[in-house]
Structure 1
Amino acid sequence: MPNRLFRICLALVLSATLALPPVTTAAAPARIKDIVDMEGIRENQLVGYGLVVGLNGTGDSLNNSPFTKQSLQSMLERLGVNTQGENVRTANVAAVMVTANLPPFATQGSRMDVSVAALGDADSLQGGTLLVTPLLGADGEVYAIAQGPVLINGFKAQGDAATVISGVPTTGRISSGALIEREIEFSLGAQHSLRLSLRNPDLTTARRIALAVNDFIGVPTAVPENPSTVRLTLPRNFNGNIVDLLTDIEQLIVQTDQSAKIVIDENSGIIVMGKDVRVSSVAVAQSNLTVTIAENPQTVQPNPLSLGQTNVDPNTNLDVLQTDTALQVVPETVTLQQLVDGLNALGISPRDLIAILQAIKATGALQAEIEVL
């Protein structure tokens, strides 16, 4: 009797345990500085056109790249060398585009890295040196001057019968190759109000950021304006400026949230799902059709002394293989792992899975946004 009572109690405990709802993973905690961009603290793109010299015969063909020839002649004229009317033949020069990102609050006289990319038909920039190149902003003003030896990302070796290329020898980089000449005026410390821009816009995350800041400061300081913006206002009794406020709050931990989303790259067959993806009960069937065509032409020789001609008769082998998968039920899931396990149980490829997910979304059974890259 005691053993029977023990077995009954054990069965009740196991039943209660199995009936417990599954444990879901909490949102990932992150620092405020890792999930937002602060207004006024940003880079600015610069671009310029220049010449790389010193190439070992791997530069632009001047006949095929007239802009390289014109730039070379203009540069020589500015240096006092007259080449008008002359037939310039050199393969040691390449026209390039120079790009850089001007760091926020960069001061005049500091340096930054630049990237160099060939514009013409140059084979390689190995061993080249970039001549003085002004770098312009979107407003047309010159913000930096670039010059220096180019370090390329690969190499090219060519012989009479073979060519070996590693990486991209027509692009390169110059470390600390640009000297900043103009500053972008923005006084961050003088601001009394500032906006935080969420890198992944979400209403819940924006509200949590505002609550965390207000709890830390003790007075209403942050207000969520929309899913991507939280406005900060410097409190009157705060001992410091807006920089001190940003320094204090950027280390605060916030539980981030995100909408359910499935990202699909059809070209590579990659599928990435968020943890909040849910699917209602749905039945899925999938069928593969494989067609194989093999050409085996046969040569037919004429009979001896028949004066006939040799003919080639076509011979095509056609094979059709159709694999049918029975209708499978994917149960209503509560976790991403169960959804993946249910779809993998069908034994389908990632590309077929893309079509199935889109079909499930069309039926309304998939509670997630599908983004196709």
Structure 2
Amino acid sequence: MLMTSFSVVADRLKDMASVAGVRSNQLIGYGLVVGLDGTGDKAPFTNQTFRNLMNKFGITIPAGTDPSLKNVAAVTVNADLPAFAKPGQNIDVTVSSIGNAKSLRGGTLLMTPLKGADGKVYAVSQGSLLVGGFGAEGADGSRISVNIPVVGRIPNGASVERSAPNAFHQGDTLTFNLHQPDFTTARRVTETINDLLGPHTASAVDATSIRVRAPRDASSRVGFLSILENLQVDPGEGAAKIVVNSRTGTIVVGANVKVLPAAVTHGNLVVTISENVGVSQPNAFGEGQTVVVPQSEVDAEQEPARMFKFGPAVTLNEIVQAVNRVGAAPGDIMAVLEALKQAGALKAELIVI
């Protein structure tokens, strides 16, 4: 599969860059899912967690007693806390089994605090799980599973308890960070902002960051950013790249790829070895034994070589046409591109993923 990519002009600034400090934060927690239909786990940490939970309710399980839980599973709960999320708002959570539970279908997550990287609790999660997968098992041990039954989601399953700190309202400037670092794009963003708001309002720090002077008042800063993020900017053309996915055979060729004059030939050698078994018998009056004799046949076949020629200053369109004319397979194209790169005829970065 050969694909081509072209530069997109006049992008909005909000699609090209993000504001420094305005980001989501990852949260994680550990809890119990109860109410399962005999599909819980038997991990020792599940029993320990269940004992601790019962102790909080004033119920003591005698020492040495195995609760033999079948309807309880230990899980991890993770979520993303959006920027500017306020206490009382709800966020989605993902619940995943960490023991040997067979399924979380029909389960209910008990109250689970979700902590950030700083160890503080930012949200609390609880609710019924939505599980897309299911599994079934027969008495003889045969089993079938569709999707993943040990992972579920709870839409709006966590309530935000604390806002994550950010630097949006601090200082006299805002910084835009480009998603794709490029010196030309950084210069064009700077020029576009200065043309609108006046000279020296914006300055490029490097290929990624553009610093912009902004009002201190919170309301004014929001309106100021709303104007900037909707500005139309022509991004700079990307570097010449060819990306090859060796697993799927997908090849993406950038718009600025060029090839110097070159002639390419490529063919395949197919070797086939077949093993047959023959029987050797003595004649009617002779001595001897009937034996099995192996018979091997080796055949080598050279497929017709595919050859195409690139002229001077070959463009992307000419590369695609040449490859399509000979009907080259993705594996052949990969081999040709690697050979062109080694020969110094391919003016592009070859990336294999």
Secondary structure, counterpart of 1:285 in structure 2: strand
Query: Kindly tell me: are residues 239 and 215 of structure 1, through their superposed partners in 2, closer, same or farther at Cα, counting changes over 3 Å?
Result: farther
Deviation at residue 240 of structure 1 after TM alignment: 7.0
| 1:142 is the counterpart of 2:121 | yes
Looking at structure 1, the residues matched to 315 and 21 of structure 2 have their Cα atoms a distance apart, in angstroms, of 40
The 8 Å contact of residues 221 and 235 in structure 1, kept in 2 or not, is answered as no
| 1:368 is the counterpart of 2:348 | yes
| 1:38 is the counterpart of 2:16 | no
Looking at structure 2, the residues matched to 156 and 86 of structure 1 have their Cα atoms a distance apart, in angstroms, of 31
Aligned letter for 2:31? G
Match of 2:244 in 1: 264
Looking at structure 2, the residues matched to 186 and 156 of structure 1 have their Cα atoms a distance apart, in angstroms, of 44
Deviations 1:38-76 (A, max 9, x none): 11211001111111111112221x1xx222222222222
Match of 2:53 in 1: 75
Deviation at residue 153 of structure 1 after TM alignment: 2.3
Looking at structure 2, the residues matched to 123 and 316 of structure 1 have their Cα atoms a distance apart, in angstroms, of 51
Aligned letter for 1:73? R
Aligned equivalent of 2:172, options 183, 186, 192: 192
The 8 Å contact of residues 191 and 242 in structure 1, kept in 2 or not, is answered as no
Match of 1:57 in 2: 38
Looking at structure 1, the residues matched to 218 and 109 of structure 2 have their Cα atoms a distance apart, in angstroms, of 49
Secondary structure, counterpart of 2:268 in structure 1: strand
The 8 Å contact of residues 110 and 179 in structure 1, kept in 2 or not, is answered as yes
Secondary structure, counterpart of 2:37 in structure 1: coil
Aligned letter for 1:128? G
Match of 1:20 in 2: none
Secondary structure, counterpart of 1:248 in structure 2: helix
Aligned letter for 1:348? A
The 8 Å contact of residues 116 and 171 in structure 1, kept in 2 or not, is answered as yes
Deviations 1:176-232 (A, max 9, x none): 011111112336244411110111111111111111111111232111121111111
Match of 2:208 in 1: 228
Aligned equivalent of 2:220, options 238, 241, 244: 241
How well do the aligned residues superpose, as a CA RMSD in angstroms? Answer: 2.9
Highest relative contact order (Cα 8 Å, sep 6+), 1 or 2?
Answer: 2
Structure 1 gaps of 5+ residues are: 1-23
Aligned letter for 1:193? T
TM-score in terms of structure 2 length: 0.87
Aligned letter for 1:201? P
Equivalenced residues, count: 344
Query: Kindly tell me: are residues 134 and 240 of structure 1, through their superposed partners in 2, closer, same or farther at Cα, counting changes over 3 Å?
Result: closer
TM-score in terms of structure 1 length: 0.83
Looking at structure 1, the residues matched to 292 and 66 of structure 2 have their Cα atoms a distance apart, in angstroms, of 57
Secondary structure, counterpart of 1:151 in structure 2: coil
Aligned equivalent of 2:77, options 53, 75, 98: 98
Query: Kindly tell me: are residues 328 and 218 of structure 1, through their superposed partners in 2, closer, same or farther at Cα, counting changes over 3 Å?
Result: same
Match of 2:186 in 1: 206
Aligned equivalent of 1:329, options 301, 306, 309: 309
The 8 Å contact of residues 130 and 149 in structure 1, kept in 2 or not, is answered as yes
Secondary structure, counterpart of 2:303 in structure 1: strand
Match of 2:321 in 1: 341
Looking at structure 2, the residues matched to 34 and 107 of structure 1 have their Cα atoms a distance apart, in angstroms, of 25
Deviation at residue 335 of structure 1 after TM alignment: 3.5
Query: Kindly tell me: are residues 295 and 129 of structure 1, through their superposed partners in 2, closer, same or farther at Cα, counting changes over 3 Å?
Result: farther
The 8 Å contact of residues 292 and 318 in structure 1, kept in 2 or not, is answered as yes
Deviation at residue 296 of structure 1 after TM alignment: 4.2
The 8 Å contact of residues 201 and 227 in structure 1, kept in 2 or not, is answered as yes
Looking at structure 2, the residues matched to 316 and 203 of structure 1 have their Cα atoms a distance apart, in angstroms, of 64
Task: Give matches, 1:267-286, under 5 Å.
Answer: 267-286=247-266
Looking at structure 2, the residues matched to 104 and 342 of structure 1 have their Cα atoms a distance apart, in angstroms, of 49
Aligned letter for 2:144? V
Task: Say which is worse superposed, 340-349 or 275-284, in terms of deviation.
Answer: 340-349
Deviation at residue 144 of structure 1 after TM alignment: 0.9
Match of 1:181 in 2: 161
Q: What percent identity do the matched residue pairs reach?
A: 42
Structure 2 gaps of 5+ residues are: none
Deviation at residue 128 of structure 1 after TM alignment: 0.8
Deviation at residue 322 of structure 1 after TM alignment: 2.3
Looking at structure 1, the residues matched to 307 and 193 of structure 2 have their Cα atoms a distance apart, in angstroms, of 52
Task: Give matches, 1:12-27, under 5 Å.
Answer: 27=8
Deviations 1:69-111 (A, max 9, x none): 2222222222223233102212222221111000101111211
Deviation at residue 28 of structure 1 after TM alignment: 2.5
The 8 Å contact of residues 148 and 174 in structure 1, kept in 2 or not, is answered as yes
The 8 Å contact of residues 278 and 367 in structure 1, kept in 2 or not, is answered as yes
Looking at structure 2, the residues matched to 90 and 299 of structure 1 have their Cα atoms a distance apart, in angstroms, of 64
Match of 2:111 in 1: 132
Aligned letter for 2:49? S
Looking at structure 1, the residues matched to 246 and 309 of structure 2 have their Cα atoms a distance apart, in angstroms, of 25
